[in-house]
Amino acid sequence: MNSTIGKLLLSRLGIGALTLLIVSVVVFGITNLLPGDAAEESLGQAATPEAVAALRAQFGLDQPAPERYARWLGGMLQGDAGSSLVNGQPISELIGKRLPSSLVLAGATALVSVPLALALGIVSAMFRGSPFDRGMNMLAVSLVSVPEFLIATLAVLLFAVKLRWLSALSHTADIVNLGQFLKAYAMPVFTLCCVIVAQMARMTRAAVIDQLRSPYVEMARLKGARPVRIVLTHALPNAIGPIANAVALSLSYLLGGVLIVESIFNYPGIANLMIDAVTTRDIPLVQACAMIFCGAYLLLVMLADICAIVSNPRLRNI
């Protein structure tokens, strides 16, 4: 790895760290603008102002915002997100119980969506203008236009209510074999894959077509190379950067879609935990969950940038 690539990678890491710091300020500020707080939620509407003020002081909510932010950020940097204002449990334990479930859901979705989307995008690029390509474009645009909650609702009505093949809720605690795993994860994964596959396939198709229009591909075509060889040997290696960016941006969509999917299917993940925390005004828990989502999104985007930098032949030859 030459010095140019090293400098670019270091700059991306620095920009990522600075962005995450800015995001922490935004997350802390927005969560503190939520109406009400944990003290009012815990005591109820019949509580006296004195009782609410005392509980706010106990929670530390009466301190100035800059002081609370500095203490919160210092704890986050040390891996300590504090304790829940509702039940007093350490936030790290609450998230630790839910995070593996969300990772399993995200991993299963990525395992299905990435190969399928890449295959569809590459085949559409190879046969661009064909009935298959036009049909895929129409289907992709249609799926992108449909919100996740509608797809999830239709899936529940069809597979759970009408056909009775699957359960409307994702019961993951008692999974002991592959069949139960597939039944529990079928509808959440299907809902997330619909939009992700459509987005990723379209972006992959555009990246491959852009390379197929290059002069070196035309030269290979004039030499009599087969279309499959042209795509796999010449176009794909130079499209790794754009394709990695497409995969990262599409998978980052999981971070938003999973909020809806976990809520509809009552999936025991971190997104559902965050929704419950918003309901009870458990601000430290909301902030910790939000930082996990933002950090994951920045990590995916940063990995896409790094793949684009490393796979750029012009930079490698400097």
- Report whether 170 contacts 152 (CB < 8 A): no
Residue 106 resides in a domain: yes
pLDDT attached to residue 253 = 73
Residue pLDDT tens, the chain, 318 long: 567 777 877 888 888 889 889 989 998 888 877 776 666 666 666 667 777 778 777 777 778 888 888 888 888 888 888 888 888 788 989 999 888 888 888 888 989 999 999 999 999 988 888 899 999 999 988 888 888 888 888 888 988 888 888 887 777 767 778 888 888 888 889 988 888 898 889 988 988 888 888 888 888 888 887 878 888 887 887 787 788 877 887 787 777 677 888 888 888 888 888 888 888 888 888 889 889 888 888 888 888 777 777 766 666 555
pLDDT attached to residue 115 = 92
pLDDT attached to residue 316 = 56
CA distance 9 to 274: 33
Alpha helices in the chain (DSSP H): 3-31, 38-43, 49-59, 65-77, 91-126, 131-145, 148-155, 178-212, 215-222, 227-229, 236-238, 240-252, 254-264, 270-279, 283-310, 313-316
Taking the CA atoms of 220, 226, 229 and 231 in sequence, report the sign of the dihedral they define. Answer: positive
Phi, psi of 90 (to 5 degrees): -60, 135
Residue 16 is which amino acid? G
Distances (CA, A) of 146 to 136, 200, 285: 16, 16, 31
Residue 88 resides in a domain: no
CA distance 20 to 143: 32
Residue 191 resides in a domain: yes
| Count of domains for the chain | 1
Residue 61 resides in a domain: no
pLDDT attached to residue 258 = 79
What CATH number is attached to the domain comprising 289?
1.10.3720.10
Residue 21 resides in a domain: no
Residue 86 resides in a domain: no
Enter the pTM of the model.
0.82
* Residue 308, CB-side half-sphere exposure with 13 Å CA sphere: 16
Residue 239 resides in a domain: yes
The residue range of the domain holding 230 is 99-316
Residue 7 resides in a domain: no
Residue 282 is which amino acid? D
